[in-house]
Structure formats: C-alpha cells, structure tokens
C-alpha cells in the first residue's frame, strides 16, 4: 500500500484543511465515500483522471490509520 504521508496532505487553504489527495481538491472522505457507494477503482480512475492507483491506496491507508488511532468506548446498556 502507498504511504499516505507522500500523497495525502492537509492544507488549511483547501477544503478547510480536510485531508486531500496532493495536487487535487479531492478529499480522502470523498474518495472513500465513492468506494462505500460501490464505485470500483476503475470507475474512480476513469471519472477522476488526476488520480492514480497509488492515490486511492493512500486514501485507504489514511482511513485505516485514522480508525486505528480512534478511541472508542462501549456504551453502558
């Protein structure tokens, strides 16, 4: 998988600082959302030619890392 730190950036001037794919205005959230909605990698690359396979891999790795560091607490039933 691609190293997200090389392809994903945070810039307060773009999309209010959301993590985006370097060189685009496409957020990690947007790319992951497309995949959650059933878009294949081929669909994404065809519709967003500025993206490469490595960018999609970096988005997935970024999401994985964000979830890994997330703290969750069981709710009291």
pTM: predicted TM-score of the whole model, two decimal places? 0.85
- Rounded to whole angstroms, the Cα distance separating 26 from 24 reads 5
Say what the pLDDT of residue 69 is: 84
Whole-number Å distance between alpha carbons of 63 and 57: 10
Residue 77 is predicted with a pLDDT of 67
CA dist 18 and 28 (Å) reads 8
- Indicate the fold that domain 4-69 takes in CATH: Arc Repressor Mutant, subunit A (1.10.10)
pLDDT in single tens digits along all 77 residues of the chain = 557 778 999 999 999 999 999 999 999 999 999 999 999 999 999 999 999 999 999 999 999 999 998 777 777 76
């Amino acid at each position: 998988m691609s190293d997200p730190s090389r392809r994903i950036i945070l810039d307060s001037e773009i999309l209010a600082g959301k993590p985006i794919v370097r060189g685009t205005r496409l957020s990690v959230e947007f790319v992951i959302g497309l995949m959650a909605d059933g878009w294949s990698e081929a669909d994404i690359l065809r519709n967003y030619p500025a993206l490469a396979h490595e960018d999609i891999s970096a988005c997935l790795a970024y999401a994985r890392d964000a979830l890994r560091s997330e703290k969750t607490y069981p709710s009291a039933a």
